[in-house]
A and B are shown apart, each in its own frame.
Chain A
Amino acid sequence: MSTMTATTQRQPDQASGTTPLSSRVGPIEGTKQSLTLAWRSVIQIRHSPTDLADFSVQPIMFVLLFTFMFGGAIMGDWQTYLTFMLPGMIVMNMLFVTMYVGQGLNSDLTKGVFDRFRSLPIARWAPLAGRILAEQVKQIWSIILVLGVGMILGFRLQNGALGLLAAVGLLLFFALAFSWVGVLVGILAKDPERVQIYGMTVLFPVTFMSNVFVPLESLPSWLEPVVDANPVSTMADAVRGLMMDGAESGPILQTLLWGVVFAAVFAPLAVRAFRRRI
């Protein structure tokens, strides 16, 4: 602590005030700052074993559980079920991962890290953009994971690399749009735990009331239209189509549309809540 002088010398330009300070952040710097903040969100995982478990162990466990526990009962044999269920599982996982953006944001807000960012001369939108960007990395990771486990168990892509790329693109597009819901929840929630509770209480029933785990035909007739209308079902259909043969434009277009709708509704709400909270 005796060497303070070495690191705190004045910077002549700032101290003298002769060089006028810049009055705004350019888009290139803002993008750089967002990337730096995304990098930070990604390396956070390294030091946080629980996060790593959430991202990695849970999806693997789900694939195994559903395949072997329910596969036989639902479709006669687990191999057939795996082929049916895995694309939907990827969709479900994607939705769960969007909640991490809210959790991380909430933790920054409640722990004062956000205030530190806001006191720095960086773009106003960079912290949010960084979070959302980092989430895409987590999305890709969890897609690889679920798909990887599925392929070890015998799942086969029937539509080639192009189909897979299109499916991943669609998933990421929707994830990007849907992460505004996570952002909103993250801003409104009192603490990070509550963000997760929301994930459990809303996302779980919504994803289970879809055709991810059971075929539509097996449902009682009154439930069928509800499940069919669920955007999760639409997305599961689209991803199934793109990964297996039989990509139909209907579910794909509808998924894109749903993404636009979610973003159009929740982005303004989230930004407004954000302005209010900070």
Chain B
Amino acid sequence: MSATTADLAIHAEGLVKRFGETTALDGVDLEVPRGTVLGVLGPNGAGKTTAVRILSTLLGADAGHATVGGYDVQSQAHQVRQLIGLTGQYAAVDEALTGAENLLLIGRLLGLERSAAKRRAQDLLSDFDLVDAGHRAAGTYSGGMRRRLDLAASLVGRPRILYLDEPTTGLDPRARNDLWDIIRGLVADDVTVLLTTQYLEEADELAGQIVVIDHGRVIARGTPDELKAMTGTRTLAVRPENHTHVPTVRVVVAELASVEPDVNGQLVTAPITDSAILPLVVRRLDDAGVTVTELNLRTSSLDEVFLSLTGKPAEPDRGHDTNQAERIPA
């Protein structure tokens, strides 16, 4: 084991996984140093869950190799399981048990004495704001409570390495922020986290490193800042009051943003890297006598990050179509 490998909590090389005709993973490399957060970003069907399942020993890879905490996920699965906690994409709680019983069950399975398991369950319930609901069947929980219980269940064994598969999908903003705080607390305790998400913002908030995957391949990696610099993180949107002004707006935006804008009805959008062009746009439109009903700059959605990551050099004319499935060049 080399020195660098020893410092890596998760190390995957060339992971390949096929399901019949579908290639879910097509040679994925991942490196997560101890005590850091890796954000795995990707749209539906990118292969995020598949990667998590391989790294958490639930699924065997068809090719490639991965170690977790220095142990091979395939040949030393039992050791790996002693190190990890898994919060899957869909909350895996037993709906017929109460919240407390769910946690007690995991504690007992992990070999805690009954009293110790009970104490651990109570501690986690209070950490996750579930004390009052602890005696109710988990089937009666709201989506957010279920997610929290699920996360609590994955922490019973105090894992050193935690997988979170889209942990905040379906949560309201407050619940999402609470969960982010919890994750930050874990990282402060030196837990290594691999987090998958569809939201750039979430990866930005939590992850030191981001890997963007699509169609089972890594298409970009770097720190959030590097990624933003690489992708141009904002979208300029202009909607003229009069539809006859659309061509004028288009020309102005094209010139200033240096890309061919996307026209959708009366709305003209373009990805931009430099927000300083906003006043220029306003001035030029004013000079041209165009009144606008909407003019704004918004943070790029994952969709737009993807566009700029994958659609640029290979297929410039495809530019801004919104059909994700076709976009990525093979």
A residues neighboring B (CB under 8 Å): 1, 3-11, 14-15, 17, 21-25, 29, 32-33, 36-37, 40, 43-45, 47-48, 51, 111-113, 115-122, 126, 278
Q: Are the C-beta atoms of B123 and A121 separated by less than 8 Å?
A: no
Q: What 1/0 flags go to B173-189 for Cβ under 8 Å of A?
A: 00000100110011011
> In the complex the two chains form, what is the Cα distance from A118 to B77 in whole Å?
10
- B219 shortest CB reach to chain A, Å: 28
Q: Are the C-beta atoms of A1 and B56 separated by less than 8 Å?
A: no
Q: Given the interface contacts A36-B108, A119-B81, does A112 sit within 8 Å of B97 by beta carbon?
A: no
- A4 shortest CB reach to chain B, Å: 4
What A residues does B53 contact at CB under 8 A? 115
Q: Given the interface contacts A36-B109, A40-B94, A112-B91, does A47 sit within 8 Å of B137 by beta carbon?
A: yes
Q: Given the interface contacts A29-B111, A113-B93, A115-B92, does A6 sit within 8 Å of B82 by beta carbon?
A: no
What B residues does A1 contact at CB under 8 A? 127-129, 178, 181-182, 185
> In the complex the two chains form, what is the Cα distance from A273 to B187 in whole Å?
39
> In the complex the two chains form, what is the Cα distance from A59 to B38 in whole Å?
55
What B residues does A4 contact at CB under 8 A? 127, 182, 185-186, 189
Q: List 8 A-B contacts (CB under 8 A).
A: A1-B182, A3-B127, A10-B158, A14-B82, A44-B94, A111-B95, A113-B92, A126-B109
- Nearest residue, chain A, Cβ from B56: A119
> In the complex the two chains form, what is the Cα distance from A121 to B71 in whole Å?
14
What A residues does B98 contact at CB under 8 A? 47
In the complex, B157 has a CB within 8 A of chain A: yes
What B residues does A25 contact at CB under 8 A? 78
What B residues does A22 contact at CB under 8 A? 78-79, 82
> In the complex the two chains form, what is the Cα distance from A44 to B188 in whole Å?
37
> In the complex the two chains form, what is the Cα distance from A11 to B155 in whole Å?
12
Q: Are the C-beta atoms of B158 and A9 separated by less than 8 Å?
A: yes
In the complex, B84 has a CB within 8 A of chain A: yes
Q: Are the C-beta atoms of B185 and A5 separated by less than 8 Å?
A: yes
> In the complex the two chains form, what is the Cα distance from A10 to B157 in whole Å?
10
Q: Are the C-beta atoms of A48 and B96 separated by less than 8 Å?
A: yes
- Nearest residue, chain A, Cβ from B6: A17
- Total cross-chain contacts (CB, 8 A): 132
In the complex, B105 has a CB within 8 A of chain A: yes
B residues neighboring A (CB under 8 Å): 53, 56-58, 69-71, 76, 78-79, 81-86, 88, 90-98, 101, 105-106, 108-111, 120, 123-124, 126-129, 137, 139, 153-155, 157-158, 160, 178, 181-182, 185-186, 188-191
Q: Are the C-beta atoms of A17 and B69 separated by less than 8 Å?
A: yes
- Nearest residue, chain A, Cβ from B139: A47
> In the complex the two chains form, what is the Cα distance from A126 to B128 in whole Å?
29
- A268 shortest CB reach to chain B, Å: 21
> In the complex the two chains form, what is the Cα distance from A120 to B156 in whole Å?
11
- A17 shortest CB reach to chain B, Å: 7
Q: Are the C-beta atoms of A15 and B190 separated by less than 8 Å?
A: yes
What B residues does A113 contact at CB under 8 A? 92-94
- B75 shortest CB reach to chain A, Å: 10
Q: Are the C-beta atoms of B153 and A24 separated by less than 8 Å?
A: no
Q: Are the C-beta atoms of B109 and A37 separated by less than 8 Å?
A: yes
Q: Are the C-beta atoms of B106 and A8 separated by less than 8 Å?
A: no
Q: Are the C-beta atoms of B58 and A118 separated by less than 8 Å?
A: yes
Q: Is the interface of B mostly helix, strand, loop or mixed?
A: mixed
Q: Are the C-beta atoms of A15 and B160 separated by less than 8 Å?
A: yes
Q: Given the interface contacts A4-B185, A119-B84, does A44 sit within 8 Å of B109 by beta carbon?
A: no
> In the complex the two chains form, what is the Cα distance from A36 to B127 in whole Å?
25
Q: Are the C-beta atoms of A8 and B186 separated by less than 8 Å?
A: yes
- Nearest residue, chain B, Cβ from A16: B160
Q: Are the C-beta atoms of A21 and B79 separated by less than 8 Å?
A: yes
Q: Are the C-beta atoms of A9 and B129 separated by less than 8 Å?
A: no
> In the complex the two chains form, what is the Cα distance from A45 to B137 in whole Å?
11
Q: Are the C-beta atoms of A6 and B123 separated by less than 8 Å?
A: yes
What A residues does B123 contact at CB under 8 A? 3, 6-7
> In the complex the two chains form, what is the Cα distance from A261 to B126 in whole Å?
51
Q: Are the C-beta atoms of A8 and B78 separated by less than 8 Å?
A: no
- A210 shortest CB reach to chain B, Å: 33
7 closest A-B pairs by CB: A4-B185, A112-B92, A44-B96, A121-B81, A21-B79, A116-B92, A119-B86
What B residues does A6 contact at CB under 8 A? 123, 127
> In the complex the two chains form, what is the Cα distance from A126 to B83 in whole Å?
20
- Nearest residue, chain A, Cβ from B159: A14
Q: Are the C-beta atoms of B160 and A121 separated by less than 8 Å?
A: no
What A residues does B157 contact at CB under 8 A? 120
- Nearest residue, chain B, Cβ from A36: B108
Q: Are the C-beta atoms of A112 and B90 separated by less than 8 Å?
A: yes
- Nearest residue, chain A, Cβ from B128: A1
> In the complex the two chains form, what is the Cα distance from A37 to B127 in whole Å?
25
Q: Are the C-beta atoms of B57 and A118 separated by less than 8 Å?
A: yes
- A173 shortest CB reach to chain B, Å: 28
> In the complex the two chains form, what is the Cα distance from A5 to B127 in whole Å?
10
What A residues does B56 contact at CB under 8 A? 119
> In the complex the two chains form, what is the Cα distance from A37 to B106 in whole Å?
10
Q: Are the C-beta atoms of B57 and A8 separated by less than 8 Å?
A: no
> Which of A11, A15, A278 is most buried by chain B, counting CB atoms within 10 A of its CB?
A15
Q: Are the C-beta atoms of B109 and A122 separated by less than 8 Å?
A: yes
Q: Given the interface contacts A36-B105, A43-B97, A113-B94, does A7 sit within 8 Å of B78 by beta carbon?
A: no
- B77 shortest CB reach to chain A, Å: 9
The listed residue (A7, A37, A121) touching B110 by CB distance below 8 A is A121
What B residues does A23 contact at CB under 8 A? 76, 78-79
What B residues does A11 contact at CB under 8 A? 158, 160
